[in-house]
């Protein structure tokens, strides 16, 4: 059985605990990953403490060059990385390429670190007084990442943190840990000092060790909301800087004037792509008015029935299996709950079996109509290939749904009416908005972050917000007297002896 080890400097002690890594397409266990503890973390921290000051003192152009070389190496290895990623996660190869690409775009942004790090300067803030600010790294940062984007989310975090001068400890999901390790290997190949980026595997035990370690200055977390809140509470109680991004339930509002063919096309990808295991998926559609709802439903049914489910390396598949057997059971249970709550199961994906791969964790696409805000299955995240339809009476009714939902990650509106779109974008109580864009993940030079239970903490991920998160500003007020006058304030420019 393939063994996946930590990526730290020096040998890791033999693990006392391991976690099984599935191949979701075949339903077989393909590897075991070591689960680390506080002692293992301390070993990684000892190296991080050693290498970080020198890295912080390396000028930003040199740091940027390492990021450039890393970007080139990831590109050169993209297909192999995508295959490895798909085999552990279950998403199809094209989605795996997207996962890597969206992470690489943050690395590209990080290549501009010399420019991004420039501080502010005011000459003559008072008589002979200038004020300037500089951004300095925090020291050692940590990232704790979810299973659903094993390449993108680690790169979002360590790209910005390391370019800014920090050392980084990455604790990836134990469900698909191989790609993060491969990325760390490539980072060393790119010229980064060994120990600058280390990967420690583990579950709650390792996460708690990170939360309590006195030398970790900041933690970036992405995962489910209850755990995000826990990370935020415990991390900040330990006086760390913490950003913790949580779950989501993104709505797509369909106005009566929307181009329904385009909406159906967008929904097929945004609701079912990657088997719905995206925090920016669109699992709730809100048609405005009964007429819009009926027309949309009529067009959605054949489009959903045409979706092809396949193993992760099937080039014709729209989506693959979900990540684990437990997750498959949980998603199917949510469909049952929705049915019991009075939702109309229009297309039922429970019990789906892929011929030749009967042991894989596949779920058929599911469409549930007449869902209401009182239903538990609406209030909670399902994280599977399930699209719920909540019919809204009018624009105000539609606006209220995502605004009052406990999650506030993303939302989209489909319309040809600029005024409605503008009004919606300014009033909706959600962090990221798409206008005729189903998955509005901001590009790398903007920033990513949801509201309400989708994001704990104040600072967003990547872009200039990411830079702010991984640095602290120092403010300097300076005065250089000329040494003249009666000599009491004499100032002598030192000379080299």
Out of 143, 154, 223, 466, name the contact with ligand NAD by CB under 6 A. Answer: 223
Report if residue 456 touches ligand NAD, rule: CB under 6 A. no
Report if residue 224 touches ligand NAD, rule: CB under 6 A. yes
Report if residue 411 touches ligand NAD, rule: CB under 6 A. no
Out of 227, 317, 420, 439, name the contact with ligand NAD by CB under 6 A. Answer: 227
Scanning 32-40, 59-67, 241-249, 366-374 for contacts with ligand NAD by CB under 6 A, the matching segment is 241-249
Report if residue 232 touches ligand NAD, rule: CB under 6 A. no
Residue with tokens 């075991």, as numbered in its chain: 32
Active-site annotation holder among 279, 338, 392, 428: 279
Report if residue 383 touches ligand NAD, rule: CB under 6 A. yes
Question: CA dist 62 to 58, 159, 185, Å?
Answer: 7, 14, 19
Helices (H) and strands (E) in the chain, counts: 16, 21
Round to the nearest angstrom and report the end-to-end CA distance of the chain: 67
Out of 36, 177, 247, 360, name the contact with ligand NAD by CB under 6 A. Answer: 247
Out of 7, 147, 395, 462, name the contact with ligand NAD by CB under 6 A. Answer: 147
281-340 residues in contact with ligand NAD (CB under 6 A) are none
Question: Bridge partners of 219?
Answer: 142, 242
Contact 385, 365 (CB under 8 A): yes
Rg, the chain, Cα only: 25
Report if residue 173 touches ligand NAD, rule: CB under 6 A. yes
Report if residue 279 touches ligand NAD, rule: CB under 6 A. yes
Report if residue 37 touches ligand NAD, rule: CB under 6 A. no
Note if 279 is an active site residue. Answer: yes
Q: Is 32 or 314 the residue whose CB approaches ligand NAD more closely? A: 32
Q: Is 207 or 258 the residue whose CB approaches ligand NAD more closely? A: 207
Question: Which residues lie below 8 Å from residue 107, measured CB to CB, with a gap of 6+?
Answer: 67, 70, 71, 74, 155, 159
Question: Bridge partners of 244?
Answer: 221, 456
Residue nearest to ligand NAD (CB): 223
- Burial environment of residue 342 by CB neighbours within 10 A (0 to 12, 13 to 18, 19 or more): exposed
Scanning 108-116, 127-135, 200-208, 340-348 for contacts with ligand NAD by CB under 6 A, the matching segment is 200-208
β-strands 218-222, 241-245 pairing: parallel
Q: Is 72 or 458 the residue whose CB approaches ligand NAD more closely? A: 458
Report if residue 243 touches ligand NAD, rule: CB under 6 A. no
Q: Is 349 or 457 the residue whose CB approaches ligand NAD more closely? A: 457
Report if residue 47 touches ligand NAD, rule: CB under 6 A. no
CA atoms within 13 A on the CB side of 340: 8
Report if residue 245 touches ligand NAD, rule: CB under 6 A. yes
Out of 31, 84, 199, 222, name the contact with ligand NAD by CB under 6 A. Answer: 222
Report if residue 15 touches ligand NAD, rule: CB under 6 A. no
- Shortest separation between residue 19's beta carbon and ligand NAD, angstroms: 9
Q: Is 95 or 174 the residue whose CB approaches ligand NAD more closely? A: 174
Question: CA dist 156 to 138, 151, 302, 395, 452, Å?
Answer: 17, 9, 37, 35, 21
Question: Bridge partners of 461?
Answer: 448
CB atoms within 10 A of CB 237: 11
Structure tokens at 321: 């299996």
Cα gap 28→2, rounded to integer Å: 13
Report if residue 376 touches ligand NAD, rule: CB under 6 A. no
Assign 183 to helix, strand or coil. helix
- Burial environment of residue 110 by CB neighbours within 10 A (0 to 12, 13 to 18, 19 or more): buried
Report if residue 146 touches ligand NAD, rule: CB under 6 A. yes
Q: What does the binding site for ligand NAD look like in residue numbers (CB under 6 A)? A: 144-149, 171, 173-174, 203-204, 207, 222-224, 227, 245-248, 279, 381, 383, 409, 450, 454
* Residue numbers annotated as active site: 279
């Amino acid at each position: 059985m393939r063994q996946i080890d930590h990526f730290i400097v020096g040998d890791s002690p033999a693990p006392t605990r391991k976690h099984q890594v599935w191949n979701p397409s075949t339903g077989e266990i393909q590897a075991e990953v070591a689960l680390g503890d506080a002692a293992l973390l301390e070993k990684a921290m000892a190296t991080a403490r050693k290498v970080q000051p020198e890295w912080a003192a390396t000028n930003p152009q040199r740091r940027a060059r390492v990021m450039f070389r890393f970007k080139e190496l990831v590109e050169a290895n993209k297909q192999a990385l995508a295959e490895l990623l798909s085999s552990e996660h279950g998403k199809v190869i094209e989605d795996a390429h997207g996962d890597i690409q969206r992470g690489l775009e943050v690395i590209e942004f990080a290549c501009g670190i010399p420019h991004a790090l420039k501080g502010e300067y005011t000459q003559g803030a008072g008589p002979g007084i200038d004020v300037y600010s500089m951004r300095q790294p925090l020291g050692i940062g940590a990232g704790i990442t979810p299973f659903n984007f094993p390449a993108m989310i680690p790169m979002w975090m360590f790209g910005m943190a390391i370019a800014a001068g920090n050392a980084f400890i990455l604790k990836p999901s134990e469900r698909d840990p191989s790609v993060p390790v491969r990325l760390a290997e490539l980072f060393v190949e790119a010229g980064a000092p060994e120990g600058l980026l280390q990967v420690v595997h583990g579950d709650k035990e390792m996460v708690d060790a990170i939360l309590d370690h006195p030398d970790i200055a900041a933690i970036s977390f992405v995962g489910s909301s209850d755990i995000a809140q826990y990370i935020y509470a415990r991390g900040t109680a330990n006086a760390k800087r913490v950003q913790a991004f949580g779950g989501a339930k993104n709505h797509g509002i369909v106005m009566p004037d929307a181009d329904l063919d385009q909406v159906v096309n967008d929904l097929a990808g945004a609701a079912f792509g990657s088997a719905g295991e995206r925090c920016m998926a669109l699992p709730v559609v809100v048609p405005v008015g009964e007429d819009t709802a009926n027309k949309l439903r009529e067009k959605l049914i054949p489009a959903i029935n045409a979706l092809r489910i396949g193993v992760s390396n099937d080039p014709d598949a729209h989506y693959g299996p979900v990540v684990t057997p437990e997750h498959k059971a949980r998603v199917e249970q949510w469909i049952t709950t929705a049915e019991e709550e009075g939702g109309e199961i229009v297309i039922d994906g429970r019990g789906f079996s892929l011929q030749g791969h009967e042991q894989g964790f596949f779920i058929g696409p599911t469409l549930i109509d007449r869902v209401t805000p009182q239903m538990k299955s609406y209030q909670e995240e399902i994280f599977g290939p399930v699209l719920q339809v909540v019919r809204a009476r009018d624009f105000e009714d539609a606006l209220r749904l995502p605004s009052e939902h406990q999650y506030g990650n993303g939302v989209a509106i489909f319309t040809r009416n600029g005024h409605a779109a503008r009004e919606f974008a300014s009033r909706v109580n959600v962090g990221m908005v798409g206008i005729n864009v189903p998955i509005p993940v901001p590009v790398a030079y903007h920033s990513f972050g949801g509201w309400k239970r989708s994001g704990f903490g104040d600072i967003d991920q990547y872009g200039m917000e990411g830079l702010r998160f991984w640095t602290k500003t120092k403010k300097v007020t300076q005065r250089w007297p000329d040494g003249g006058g009666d000599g009491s304030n004499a100032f002598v420019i030192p000379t080299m002896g």
